[in-house]
Amino acid sequence: MAKIVCTVTNCYYNNRMGCCAPAITVDGNSAVESRQTCCETFIEQKPGVKSSVSEPNSNTEIKCGAVKCVFNKAGICQSADVVVNGKNAQVSEETCCSTFKS
């Protein structure tokens, strides 16, 4: 469980740079650096699509496929704070978990 700070402000789940999703999945099975990871849960906020109105979570569950990260224990992120980046991302591959550390 982690508090997520996320710069992907055009994500459906983003509210004031916090994440409103109850759980996210980070991908990056062969990642050795953060830019090779991504937030699979990203959904682009399209014009006309209703914005997420819920409040950001302070304890989001993070399933993580980046097995080379030091915070990954059995596919779950153990870091208390996580930063996700990817300003103006249009697809999940343009986001990344900046907390990744190998």
Nearer to ligand SF4, 90 or 102 (CB): 90
**Least distance (Å) from ligand SF4 to the CB of residue 41?**
4
**75-79, long-range: CB < 8 A, 24+ apart:** 77/2, 77/26, 79/2
The residue among 11 and 64 lying less far from ligand SF4, judged by its C-beta, is 11
Positions that interact with ligand SF4 (CB under 6 A): 4, 6, 8, 11, 13-14, 19, 21, 24, 39, 41-42, 84, 95
Shortest Cβ 6–ligand SF4 spacing (Å): 3
In whole angstroms, the minimum distance from the beta carbon of 62 to ligand SF4 comes to: 9
As measured in angstroms, the least distance from the Cβ of 30 to ligand SF4 is: 20
CB 79 within 8 A of CB 1: no
